[in-house]
Amino acid sequence: MLIFAHRGASADAPENTLLAIEQALIQQADGIEIDVYQLGNELVVIHDRWVSRTTNGTRLLSDYSLEELQTLDAGKGQFVPTLWQVLQCVQGLCLINIEVKGVRDVLLINECINKAVSQLGFEAEQFIVSSFNHHLLLAFKSIAPKIKIGALTASNPLDYARFAEDLQAYSVNADISFVDQNFVIDAHNRGLKMFVYTVDEPKDLLKLQAWGVDGVFSNGPAAAKLVLAVKA
Ligand code: G3P
Ligand code: MG
């Protein structure tokens, strides 16, 4: 079962910062999940529309220029990085799940991935672009048919993973609060990977592994890997 560092190794460093990315690499996460918004023509790595939860700023993200945003304190001497700065930090060393929160121009994501493949030693197969916004995933798929997409769901659909199959997704990425074995079986029967967020509890990790879940998003990748290694 793959372990993705959720918002980087966010149990050990401020979420979605370069320190959290470095920690995820040190902890040998199989992949890193980050949240992305568009700011002007840049892609920035932050979870919320408001900057106040994760920085000392007080306004809507869209009220800032990139320069202003990057002067804000994200804790432990960190700032809000661009997607490109995160990819420069990772240098192709693990999988990257780009969770698209608020992006108008999906071309920007594709350009960033292509540049990372040509300049930073990534393979295109190392990227998964996921979103709760399935219209956005469709738009991305139409311009980048070879990049994997992850269809996120925060609710338990009546027909399980069918929505992700309809999107021609690579994976269904679902909340642990409702995932059960039937959902996992249904995803696999449709040829989809099953990823689950956010999983830190040892008993949850072991249960999901026993169900054949393909990957989890965990705030503490080293601790998660330890739980699975002890069991193995
Ligand atoms: O991508 C998995 C997970 O990060 C989705 O929820 O709110 O943590 O971005 P959230
Ligand atoms: Mg996320």
pLDDT recorded at residue 52: 98
Q: Which residues neighbour ligand 2 (ion) by CB within 5 Å?
A: 35, 99
Predicted local confidence at residue 230, as pLDDT: 85
Q: Which of 6, 134, 135, 188 is catalytic?
A: 6
ipTM: 0.99
Model pLDDT, residue 231: 66
217 in Cβ contact with 179 (< 8 Å): no
Separation of 155 CA from ligand 1 center, angstroms? 13
Measure 140 CA to ligand 1 centroid, in angstroms: 19
Domains of the chain and CATH, by start: 2-231 (3.20.20.190)
What is the SS3 assignment for 86-140?
A: HHHHHCCCCEEEEEEEECCCCHHHHHHHHHHHHHCCCCHHHEEEEECCHHHHHHH
pLDDT for 41 equals 97
Q: Annotated catalytic, 47?
A: yes
The pLDDT profile of the chain, 232 residues, written as one tens digit per residue, is 999 999 999 999 999 999 999 999 999 999 999 999 999 999 999 999 999 999 999 999 999 999 999 999 999 999 999 999 999 999 999 999 999 999 999 999 999 999 999 999 999 999 999 999 999 999 999 999 999 999 999 999 999 999 999 999 999 999 999 999 999 999 999 999 999 999 999 999 999 999 999 999 999 999 999 999 986 6
What's the rounded Cα separation, in Å, for the pair 162 and 31?
25
**What pLDDT score does 28 carry?**
98
Residue with the nearest Cα to atom 5 of ligand 1? 197
* Confidence at residue 232, expressed as pLDDT on a 0 to 100 scale: 65
Q: How many CB atoms lie within 10 A of CB 7?
A: 27
Q: Which one from 47, 134, 135, 188 is the annotated catalytic residue?
A: 47
